[in-house]
Structure 1
Amino acid sequence: MEKRECCIILSQVEGIGWQTVDRFMRLAGEPTHISVGEMLNILRMLGVAERVVDRAKACAHSLSQQVEAWAADGIEVITRFDEAYPLYLTEIAQPPWVLFCKGDRSLLGEPSVAVVGTRKPTPYGLRVTRMLAQALAEQGLVVTSGMANGIDGEAHRAVLKSTGRTIAVLGAGIDVIYPKNHRTLYQELTNRGLVVSEMPPGTPPHPGLFPRRNRIISGLSLGTLVVEAAERSGSLITADFSMEQGREVFAVPGPITTTQSQGTLKLIQQGAKCVRSVEDILEEIPFVAYNQAVQQDTVTSSDLTEAEQWLLERVAPDRPVSIDRIMSLSGTKWEFGQIHQSLLSLELKGMIASMPGGQYIRK
């Protein structure tokens, strides 16, 4: 089996966490093919308890049946070793080894802004969420949130109503609807948007999983907008992750007399951008006219070679990427000469721009 299969197996085994998988991958080295026996021996070398090794063995033997069952339920699995893995997530600390997806997985590669907030919003907070989420969607941006009650759910609904695109990141297994009252919203998201989870299908919600969920919400996004939040709120955890990941943080001001505004006012005091309209967000996101620019470009995808199309999908419009990073993403797919020639071609066609330090950005 390949390393991606090891990722899927290890992500399901109770007693194996992110750090253990990281150490496993480093110890496994370069070979892409690993037998079940080799996988189990590496786990033993890492000091993993024998009962946990037995769980990994059982999971390995049932993997093909599991993947077939997930596919029958519309669940797709993306690992760190797949081309479909979102580039933005590779830049964060402890990026998830596996993403379980249901819906339009292409949204993972699109520019996104996270919209989060309290589960107990005021009418003002709900109104502002609808206004800003719809405006972001109209600019061609994907709106990412956590499908929680309150601000999160309202952001998803506003985008779906405006026929925009939205991603929900869950703090439970991808087939576990939480909160239960969002069953209809969940169906709409899987039909017209995307639902994502790091946790294996069937995993029930647990308080410890939501901070992990929040790092993915911010990690998929160019920035995080907090609409309303109490002074101690899970939404502020998402904002903290966003700052740690070098992404933008935005906050909507509110009355100093309401509990729901204390967290956002504190964020503004700490340097988050105060948002009065969607323009306050857009001016902080370079190349935010990405969608319009692609539509107006005279060069179409049919004019590109396979290598140029591959590169264009991996050069982001908002964050420079180095040629070394591009080569690491290509693996053995493309040689350096092909990559370099294709980059020059795309630059001549006006689709990317070169920057100091051997970096490139999409126009």
Structure 2
Amino acid sequence: MTALVDWLVLASAPGLGGVRISRILEHVTPAALRAMSAEELTGIGMTPRQVSHFRQPPMAKIDRCLRWDSQPGQTILTLDSSHYPALLKEIASPPPLLFVRGEPHWLLQPQLAIVGSRSASIDGREAAYEFAAALVAAEYVVTSGLALGVDGQAHYGALKNGGATVAVLGSGLDRIYPAKHRELASLITQQGALVSEFWPDEVPRPQNFPRRNRVISGLSVGVLVIEAAQKSGSLITARYALEQGREVFALPGPIHYPGSRGCHALIKNGAKLVETPVDIFEEVGALTSCVKNSHSDESLAQPENEKLPFPALLANVGSEATPVDVVAERSGQPVQEVMMQLLELELLGMVTAVPGGYIRARRG
């Protein structure tokens, strides 16, 4: 508890951003900062206001966070926590604290982000849902920003197909935004996690959302953009992903539709054009392995997240019956080979034969 207090004091210091905090932590621990004299704090570049903060922290605010952390299903992860996501820790300004509602272990699993327009077309919303279903079938956690449109459909696509999803908020977790997604947020806590770097009572502010976007990309091995205007938050997420060394994918659309322009601009600038989920899996293998290896502790392993055989094939079997020849065409494999793989998956209880083809079997 004492260590968490030290981190809360550091994170609440006025005028200390993520980059500055990262530099400070290269030389001194949060506990050591609290023990420093005013002269020592001034000597490492703290302003008079910051010195006053460390000498007299806002304990009422900090106590509220400690009470929040003590509630069932709520956790505050510090940058030195074993549950802090390894990929996020590598970005230029990792949040010193992550407030989590739900299961923190989902943050340790390989994640793929799906982001896009709040006012997406029917096709765009369907694509978000279908790609999310395919990603969870291949044992990825789907990460997005809880916004209306593409984000919401991505979350639903993961949840309704038996997978897990992470929603990163631009507000505190006690101030769910948008309000229309409060029920969705509740579902996510049962089958994933809500995450924010903002303190629980923080209201949504415009300047919070670019910070939210860097966390979405920072958590993920890749980012798929589905419908985006030329100036949009989704393109900010894509830019952060490139800066962080993540893969960026874009779904093309009709050339005269405004929502296609952002995706087409990304493709022109080097993002991978995506037509099927297999296009994504071909690119993210190395970083996915890095995530899995960084959290190999058996106590964190979840049976439902063990690597499944034939992920490219599984990605093309969803909740609706898919004929064998369609699965073969989508996965780029001979029909005979696909039939053998489907038989093995059926014996393992991962797919089910139904009239018209195969469907993905729900796990757990």
Q: CA deviation at 1:245?
A: 1.2
Structure 2: gaps (5+ residues): 308-364
Q: Does 2:42 match 1:44?
A: yes
Counterpart for residue 297 of structure 1? none
Q: TM-score, normalised by structure 1?
A: 0.74
Counterpart for residue 118 of structure 1? 117
Change (3 A) 1:46 1:289: closer
Quote the Cα distance in structure 1 between the aligned partners of 2:134 and 2:150: 16
Counterpart for residue 144 of structure 1? 143
What percent identity do the matched residue pairs reach? Answer: 39
Report 1:329-340 matches (<5 A). none
Quote the Cα distance in structure 1 between the aligned partners of 2:287 and 2:52: 49
Counterpart for residue 24 of structure 2? 24
Counterpart for residue 100 of structure 2? 101
Quote the Cα distance in structure 1 between the aligned partners of 2:13 and 2:297: 39
Q: CA deviation at 1:310?
A: 7.7
Quote the Cα distance in structure 1 between the aligned partners of 2:255 and 2:35: 61
Q: CA deviation at 1:226?
A: 0.1
Q: CA deviation at 1:176?
A: 1.2
Quote the Cα distance in structure 1 between the aligned partners of 2:260 and 2:285: 28
Q: CA deviation at 1:138?
A: 0.8
User: Which letter does structure 2 place at the counterpart of 1:166?
Assistant: T
Task: List structure 1 segments (4+ residues) > 6 angstroms apart after TM superposition.
Answer: 287-290, 310-313
User: Which letter does structure 1 place at the counterpart of 2:143?
Assistant: T
User: Which letter does structure 2 place at the counterpart of 1:208?
Assistant: Q
> Contact 1:173–1:203 (CA<8 Å) still a contact in 2?
yes
Quote the Cα distance in structure 2 between the aligned partners of 1:39 and 1:120: 53
Q: CA deviation at 1:256?
A: 0.8
Q: How many residues get paired?
A: 298
> Contact 1:4–1:80 (CA<8 Å) still a contact in 2?
no
Deviations 1:193-236 (A, max 9, x none): 10111111111111111111111111111100001100111101
> Contact 1:214–1:237 (CA<8 Å) still a contact in 2?
yes
Q: CA deviation at 1:311?
A: 11
Q: CA deviation at 1:93?
A: 1.2
Counterpart for residue 355 of structure 1? none
Counterpart for residue 164 of structure 1? 163
User: Which letter does structure 2 place at the counterpart of 1:22?
Assistant: S
Q: CA deviation at 1:5?
A: 3.6
Change (3 A) 1:131 1:288: farther
> Contact 1:4–1:81 (CA<8 Å) still a contact in 2?
no
User: Which letter does structure 2 place at the counterpart of 1:216?
Assistant: V
Q: CA deviation at 1:172?
A: 1.0
Q: TM-score, normalised by structure 2?
A: 0.74
User: Which letter does structure 1 place at the counterpart of 2:6?
Assistant: C
Change (3 A) 1:140 1:33: same
Q: In structure 2, the residue corresponding to 1:28 is in which secondary structure?
A: coil
User: Which letter does structure 2 place at the counterpart of 1:75?
Assistant: Q
Quote the Cα distance in structure 1 between the aligned partners of 2:297 and 2:129: 38
Report 1:214-293 matches (<5 A). 214-286=213-285
Q: CA deviation at 1:287?
A: 6.5
Quote the Cα distance in structure 2 between the aligned partners of 1:105 and 1:311: 10
Output the aligned Cα RMSD: 2.9
Counterpart for residue 12 of structure 1? 12
User: Which letter does structure 1 place at the counterpart of 2:229?
Assistant: A
Deviations 1:30-61 (A, max 9, x none): xx853744276654334444444444423357
Change (3 A) 1:76 1:120: same
Quote the Cα distance in structure 1 between the aligned partners of 2:288 and 2:168: 25
Change (3 A) 1:42 1:212: farther
Quote the Cα distance in structure 2 between the aligned partners of 1:39 and 1:28: 14
Q: CA deviation at 1:281?
A: 0.9
Change (3 A) 1:215 1:162: same
Change (3 A) 1:94 1:284: same
Q: In structure 1, the residue corresponding to 2:252 is in which secondary structure?
A: coil
> Contact 1:3–1:34 (CA<8 Å) still a contact in 2?
no
Structure 1: gaps (5+ residues): 295-306, 318-363
Q: In structure 2, the residue corresponding to 1:249 is in which secondary structure?
A: strand
Change (3 A) 1:140 1:238: same
Change (3 A) 1:39 1:211: farther
User: Which letter does structure 1 place at the counterpart of 2:11?
Assistant: S
Counterpart for residue 32 of structure 2? 34
Quote the Cα distance in structure 2 between the aligned partners of 1:286 and 1:39: 49
Q: In structure 1, the residue corresponding to 2:114 is in which secondary structure?
A: strand
Deviations 1:146-199 (A, max 9, x none): 001110111001111112110001111122110111110111111221011111
> Contact 1:133–1:159 (CA<8 Å) still a contact in 2?
yes
> Contact 1:114–1:218 (CA<8 Å) still a contact in 2?
yes
Change (3 A) 1:203 1:64: closer
Q: CA deviation at 1:282?
A: 1.3
Change (3 A) 1:75 1:55: farther
Quote the Cα distance in structure 2 between the aligned partners of 1:39 and 1:166: 44
Report 1:44-63 matches (<5 A). 44-56=42-54, 57-60=56-59, 63=62
